[in-house]
Structure 1
Amino acid sequence: MMQHLLRISGGVSNRSANTVPEKPSRSSWHRAITACLAAVVLVLTGCQSSPPQSSAPTSAPVSTSAFPSTEAGKAMEWIHTVLEQDADVAEGDVEGRFSQEFTAEVPPTELVSLFNENLRPAAPFEVTDYAGDELTSSATFTGSEGDPFVVQIAVDADGTINGLLFTPENDHEEATTLEDAEARLDELPIDVNYLVTSGEKNIAASGEQDVAPIGSAFKLWVLLAVVNSIDDGSLNWNDELTVEASNKSLPSGDLQNLPDGSTVTVREAAQKMIEISDNTATDLLIGAVGREKVDALVPEHMRPVATTRQFFELVWGEGSDRLGEYSEADEQGRAKILDSLEDLTVSATDVDMDTSKVSAPTWAASPEEVADIWEQLDSASEQHPELDEILGANTAVSVSGYNNLWFKGGSLPGVLAGSWTGETESGDRVTVVLIASSDDATAVNDNTMELLLLGGDILTLLAS
């Protein structure tokens, strides 16, 4: 399955599926793009027999303006744009877009030749079936001639493309029943805890409902703390937050790139925290409401809530020499350790994303606890319509049949969470929570798109 070559963003941040910066093992991507050139030619010249059916829950076209503003979404939009430009693609067009490791194995001349000779002749393209997270995306391109093909992208935290695949249409087979989707989730070679609710009923659940790492999905509790602070008058959506060297985190996101002293509103930070899982935005909001307000909302086992900056330092920075002490400490002891981590001694390139962090002390929750925070946010949206735009901007998969659909994912090496809630056109509230983990980080990476697409299948089944 070609999606097994995909890499997913980490969870300090999606998921869409929403992440800490990743440092993927890229050799398989580099080898694969060369191997896939022949497949692309076959697809575009119509030599592929019996092309598979579309893999996504729906085939709603993705307009140029509708690509998610995640780094992976922007990279997919760039691919679409460059394939449809009037002039032939030149080496200058791809310069700086791909990582040095990538271009060392796939030279720009080869990329330009692929674009101009094998892909652009089929323009214009309709893009459908977009799915992805902050650092990984997949979409189907249907041209004016030839068979559709799938573009799969992985990017570094700064948006540099480190993985690119062009393949025949995705071989994900859409689940036809809820029982089918459950069976396939259970068969994945990773641990998957899941819960599906419709209205007041739990209609599907894994045998285990354990607490497990959820990566950036913890930002849902931060968002609720922001809403509560607005309700009690201590904060306003229009209040300005100042970005300083002392509160900048590492990607995902882009606020860390702003000059010191720059300001963003609470509303802008909340949008970025959810839509592109901006870590600096998250930390700004935790600082604005106070950690105690977030701690009051999260499950007891998640307290104290670390900022993303503190987590980077504790797990990968010089603070990692206190990781064992932190794991054994009580809530008060952990809070003291977090407060001592003032400096950020790690950079995005220092982060090891090939070693699973499933056992690291991090944000964690059970599927029921994630479903509960969705219910609280849904209730709060009656007084805060801003939540619909914040939570609905990046749904990770393309699904129809809902009046609104919200998503938040998260990932770390060896960890992936995807969660959705939405109101169907018939008025039912559907919530889907998928939490996957493994001691083998590659196994989670390899099954990321299948997990997200199965989540989309479940949403589609419950919308009908």
Structure 2
Amino acid sequence: MRLLQSFALLLLACSAVTLPHSASAQTEAVISEQLSARADDVLSLLQGEEIEDEVFDENFRNAVPPAQFRALTGQVRAQQGQALAILSITPRNANSAIIKISFEKSIGTINLDLESTAPHRVSGLLLTGFEAAGGSLDDVLAAIDALPGRQGLLIQPLDGAAGSPPIAALDPDGRYAIASAFKLYILAELDRAVRAGERNWSDVVQLGPKSHPSGISQNWPDRSPVTLHTLATLMISISDNSATDTLIRIIGQDQLAAIVKAAGHHKPAELRPFLMTRQASALKMPVHAERRAGFLAAGPAERQKLLTEFDSALALDSLDSRILTNRPNFIDQLEWFATPVDMVSLLAYLNHNASAETRAILAINPGIGPDAASKWNYLGYKGGSEPGVLSFNFLLRSKAGKSYAVSVNWNNADQSLLESELLALTTRLVNLLAQQ
């Protein structure tokens, strides 16, 4: 996702019906001569040809100088392989289109805008996402299974009777670190409390304790007044850790333990005590080695006492960002753990119980590119990532009205993971599911 953000210029993403690049059939949207020519130019650029001065208008070249553009396209080739061919051009008008390009490892979706007058140079280019190449669910599952480390996956239809067979599964009962995907449990409890009349989305609380990024609220004034709705939105849409830790403090351990159990976790003690993000990260630091050893040796009740005892020592200034962002660090011990079955059970709980407001919060950040997301009538998402850990979780409703829960997990205790690789495969998986 970071690569796509670096590559992108500001454009509005649109969904459209795919047209064959070589189509001669009459359609309402006609591929103009300039769109066809400039799409070919984009393919050449992605293949490494140095024709930026001919293809891009002056504003584009000022925003993204040719040397910078070549560096970015070099990163794309390093991750996705060589660009091979244009698969489709979907015109929005004579000077704007969505194009799909096949790479050796994936299919890329690009929004293309041209000048309105000749020579119709490219004025905007937005690479919105990749999906893995592969003709079937089995192909994509095999590619995920071949990744280094451990993979757990489950795709479960939610419309049938309980116990309906899954559509696809890889190690569904395996124990995986899920990183920020644990925040779905917090959202589920907030939703329950609001529906029960115990809380209101508009309730105002004080921000804190502060945690490390990701997010923005760590930069806000201490004890800022914020609503529960704002905290939940930040927590789910941008995985804001300070918002998350504030909600853990407000909700409390007993209520969080209850929702973990109610949502069907096979071993609720795995998530008790429910660690704050700051606590989990601080306990991984060398300076807290003695505290960490005591915490890991204790049972759930004793762990809660230990957290209360030394929580004040687990301060943000004890965190070493080099350790947080470099290699996997205690991901099999100091994390939030669940199986793919647990995650699908949580998504099914939300599907059955969640209010319209909670569903709207889940849908803010789709996790995948807009073209893939547009294939669904509803797409709720929460992911999780840290070195060695990726977890992608979707609550889906198709255009035909079918509902699904999808959980894709990848752990590797020995090396950091290439997020774009699993994201491309997961996007392909979700696209294939939309066709069922």
Task: Give the one of 354, 376, 380 matched to 2:326.
Answer: 354
Where in structure 2 are there 5+ consecutive unaligned residues?
6-39, 50-55, 73-94, 101-107, 115-120, 261-267
Counterpart AA for 1:177:
S
Matches within 5 A, 1:328-367: 328-339=297-308, 340-343=310-313, 344=315, 345-347=317-319, 349-357=321-329, 358-367=331-340
What TM-score do the two structures reach when normalised by structure 2?
0.69
Task: Give the one of 406, 422, 425 matched to 2:396.
Answer: 422
Task: Give the one of 175, 178, 185 matched to 1:211.
Answer: 175
Q: Which residue is 2:67 aligned to?
A: 114
Contact 1:248–1:280, Cα closer than 8 Å, also in 2: yes
Deviations 1:403-452 (A, max 9, x none): 1101111022111111111111111111111110112223x2x2x22212
Whole-angstrom CA distance in 1 between matches of 2:269 and 2:58: 53
What is the DSSP-based 3-state SS (H/G/I as helix, E as strand, rest coil) of the residue aligned with 1:297? helix
Asked if 1:394 corresponds to 2:365, the answer is yes
Whole-angstrom CA distance in 2 between matches of 1:262 and 1:225: 23
Deviations 1:297-342 (A, max 9, x none): 2222121111112112211274343212211210011112222212
Asked if 1:174 corresponds to 2:137, the answer is no
Query: Do the aligned partners of residues 336 and 150 (structure 1) sit closer, same or farther apart at CA in structure 2, a change above 3 Å counting?
Result: same
Task: Give the one of 191, 194, 197 matched to 2:156.
Answer: 197
Task: Give the one of 163, 175, 192 matched to 1:228.
Answer: 192
Deviation at 1:209, TM superposition (A): 2.2
Counterpart AA for 1:333:
E
Asked if 1:412 corresponds to 2:412, the answer is no
What is the DSSP-based 3-state SS (H/G/I as helix, E as strand, rest coil) of the residue aligned with 2:44? coil
Query: Do the aligned partners of residues 240 and 331 (structure 1) sit closer, same or farther apart at CA in structure 2, a change above 3 Å counting?
Result: same
Task: Give the one of 410, 422, 425 matched to 1:451.
Answer: 422
What is the DSSP-based 3-state SS (H/G/I as helix, E as strand, rest coil) of the residue aligned with 2:428? helix
Q: Which residue is 1:440 aligned to?
A: 414
Asked if 1:463 corresponds to 2:434, the answer is yes
Contact 1:319–1:341, Cα closer than 8 Å, also in 2: no
Q: Which residue is 2:112 aligned to?
A: 142
Whole-angstrom CA distance in 2 between matches of 1:50 and 1:315: 43
Deviation at 1:175, TM superposition (A): 2.5
Contact 2:393–2:407, Cα closer than 8 Å, also in 1: yes
What is the DSSP-based 3-state SS (H/G/I as helix, E as strand, rest coil) of the residue aligned with 1:341? helix
Matches within 5 A, 1:76-91: 86=59, 89=62
Contact 1:213–1:364, Cα closer than 8 Å, also in 2: yes
Task: Give the one of 273, 279, 284 matched to 1:310.
Answer: 279
What is the DSSP-based 3-state SS (H/G/I as helix, E as strand, rest coil) of the residue aligned with 1:387? helix
Contact 2:191–2:358, Cα closer than 8 Å, also in 1: no
Query: Do the aligned partners of residues 177 and 316 (structure 1) sit closer, same or farther apart at CA in structure 2, a change above 3 Å counting?
Result: same
Whole-angstrom CA distance in 1 between matches of 2:321 and 2:178: 23
Query: Do the aligned partners of residues 125 and 346 (structure 1) sit closer, same or farther apart at CA in structure 2, a change above 3 Å counting?
Result: farther
Q: Which residue is 2:146 aligned to?
A: 187
Query: Do the aligned partners of residues 441 and 149 (structure 1) sit closer, same or farther apart at CA in structure 2, a change above 3 Å counting?
Result: farther
Contact 1:314–1:341, Cα closer than 8 Å, also in 2: no
Q: Which residue is 1:240 aligned to?
A: 204
Contact 1:242–1:264, Cα closer than 8 Å, also in 2: yes
Q: Higher Cα Rg: structure 1 or 2?
A: 2
Contact 2:157–2:404, Cα closer than 8 Å, also in 1: yes
Query: Do the aligned partners of residues 265 and 47 (structure 1) sit closer, same or farther apart at CA in structure 2, a change above 3 Å counting?
Result: closer
Deviation at 1:141, TM superposition (A): 5.2
Deviations 1:88-117 (A, max 9, x none): 748xxxxxxxxxxxxxxxxxxxx7553699
Contact 1:89–1:115, Cα closer than 8 Å, also in 2: no
Contact 1:249–1:279, Cα closer than 8 Å, also in 2: yes
Counterpart AA for 1:272:
L
Whole-angstrom CA distance in 1 between matches of 2:410 and 2:111: 29
Q: Which residue is 2:227 aligned to?
A: 265
Deviations 1:101-150 (A, max 9, x none): xxxxxxxxxx755369999xxxx987889xxxxxxxx974535358x988
What is the DSSP-based 3-state SS (H/G/I as helix, E as strand, rest coil) of the residue aligned with 1:296? helix
Deviations 1:22-68 (A, max 9, x none): xxxxxxxxxxxxxxxxxxxx9658377799xxxxxxxxxxxxxxxxx
Contact 1:194–1:209, Cα closer than 8 Å, also in 2: no
Q: Which residue is 1:21 aligned to?
A: none
Whole-angstrom CA distance in 2 between matches of 1:350 and 1:419: 28
Whole-angstrom CA distance in 1 between matches of 2:97 and 2:283: 45
Whole-angstrom CA distance in 1 between matches of 2:252 and 2:155: 32
What is the DSSP-based 3-state SS (H/G/I as helix, E as strand, rest coil) of the residue aligned with 1:378? helix
Contact 2:325–2:387, Cα closer than 8 Å, also in 1: yes
Whole-angstrom CA distance in 1 between matches of 2:238 and 2:70: 34
What TM-score do the two structures reach when normalised by structure 1?
0.65
Where in structure 1 are there 5+ consecutive unaligned residues?
9-41, 52-82, 91-110, 130-137, 153-168
Whole-angstrom CA distance in 2 between matches of 1:87 and 1:435: 38
Contact 1:89–1:116, Cα closer than 8 Å, also in 2: no
Deviation at 1:206, TM superposition (A): 0.9
Asked if 1:292 corresponds to 2:261, the answer is no
Deviation at 1:230, TM superposition (A): 1.9
What is the DSSP-based 3-state SS (H/G/I as helix, E as strand, rest coil) of the residue aligned with 1:371? helix
Whole-angstrom CA distance in 1 between matches of 2:57 and 2:321: 33
RMSD across aligned C-alpha pairs, in angstroms?
3.6
Deviation at 1:208, TM superposition (A): 5.3
Counterpart AA for 1:341:
D
Contact 2:48–2:70, Cα closer than 8 Å, also in 1: no
Whole-angstrom CA distance in 1 between matches of 2:351 and 2:125: 37
Whole-angstrom CA distance in 1 between matches of 2:346 and 2:188: 8
